[in-house]
Structures are given as C-alpha cells and as structure tokens.
Amino acid sequence: MSSADQNHTIRQLLAGIKGFRARYYERRPDSMRQLVTEGQHPDVLMIGCSDSRVDPALLTQAEPGELFVVRNVANLVPPYQPDGSYHGTSAAIEYAVRVLKVGHIIVLGHAHCGGIQGLIRLRSGAPDQNDFVSPWVSIASAACDPYITPSDAGTDEERRKADLERLQQFPDMVERAAIRTSVENLLTFPFVRERVEDGTLEIHGWWFDLDSGDLWAIDMQSKIFLPVE
C-alpha cells in the first residue's frame, strides 16, 4: 500500500469519527451524556469474530451502549481455566456476566471464516507456522471430528490429503460445530451456568451467511441450526 493510500485510509477513519460525533454528540447529546453519567447497561454480550466483514454493531444496527462486544479469531470461547495467565475473552465474559449483569450471551460466527480455515489446515496436518493462531483455534478442534477419515485409511500422507479435502467440503458445518463448542464452553464458567440455571441469562449461537445475508440460530434443545425468519 502506497503512502497516499495509507493517508486516504486514515482520512476515511477520521471522517467517520467526525460523522459519529455529529450524529450522537451534536444531534443527540442527551443520550451520550446519559451513557457517560450513568454508565453502560447493555443487555447483550456479543462474542464475535475479528473478521472485518462481520462487525456485530453494524450487522445488528445497535446503538451506543446496547452491546458489550468481545471479538477474537473465529469467535471462540475457551473453557473455564482460571490459571493466572492472560485470558482476554474470559475476562470479558466475567465482566459482562458478573458486573454488567447482561441477560443474553450471543456467539456470532459466520461463513468463510479464516480462523476455521486455519483450524481445518491444522487438523489436516498442514505445516504450522503460527505462534498464537493455531493454539487458539485448536479450542474448537473437536468440531472437525465428524469429518475426519478413519485412522486406518491408508498412509499418513494419504489420510492428511483426504482429511483436508473432506473438511474443505464442509467449512460451514465446521463453523457451526465450532459455535456449538463455544456455547458448551460457556457453561463451564460457574457464574455463567449459575445464571443460566436460575433463568436470568440466555445463551444463543448464531451463524451469519456472508453469501446471502441470512442468519441461522442454534436450537438450544436439539443443537441444530435453523434459519431465522
């Protein structure tokens, strides 16, 4: 990218901030003042992907203060693991549930997810050159299991090639299975499970189809994804 292109990109971002200020601070100052003086009270924690094409606030057309959002590669939720290490997503979950008292947690996945493609390559045995991405996406490794060929199907190289081909045929299925894994991992957090069981918190799994703009949601009883009308 040339220096001129870089400057254009920054100018666009600055223009966007000016537009935001005009829309909310100049035309609707009371709403922003209330958010400052009374703090945020979102009812929804949205766990989304870092993918630039799937911005939760843009997709839902949410207003400032309506969503508490954490985004990461492949919109994953790790299992509960309070080991003193750095856990950004888990920290956001804890803050949303314990401090903000949100009533809903939504795991928002999407089609053509690069993180899931990385997981597929990882499970197929492709060379791993990532320091952080591969260990992270391995959280959802079990999402690939239904599409892995039997271990006795030929040589290691033949299996690796067959696994990659099979998984690449079903990326949307792996994406949805990864959402199920994250929903299940949410329930390993004691403070999440407690509120789900007492009826004050609901968990949702959503998958957004980038090709059509359709939204699919998981049925929490059957664990099947159904289109949202």
Q: What is the pLDDT of residues 174-184, one digit of tens each?
A: 999 999 999 99
pLDDT at 216: 98
C-alpha span between 228 and 70 (Å, rounded): 23
pTM of the model: 0.92
C-alpha span between 81 and 89 (Å, rounded): 11
Clarify whether residues 21 and 119 are in a common domain: no
Clarify whether residues 60 and 73 are in a common domain: yes
Domain tally for the chain?
2
CATH of the domain at 74: 3.40.1050.10
Clarify whether residues 95 and 50 are in a common domain: yes
Clarify whether residues 153 and 46 are in a common domain: yes
Domain that holds residue 5: 1-39
Q: Does residue 154 register a pLDDT over 70?
A: no
**How would you label 54-77 residue by residue, b for 16+ Cβ within 10 Å and e otherwise?**
bebeebbeeeeebbbbbbbbbbbb
pLDDT at 1: 60
pLDDT at 87: 97
Q: Using one digit for the tens of pLDDT, what is the confidence trace for 127-136? A: 888 999 999 9
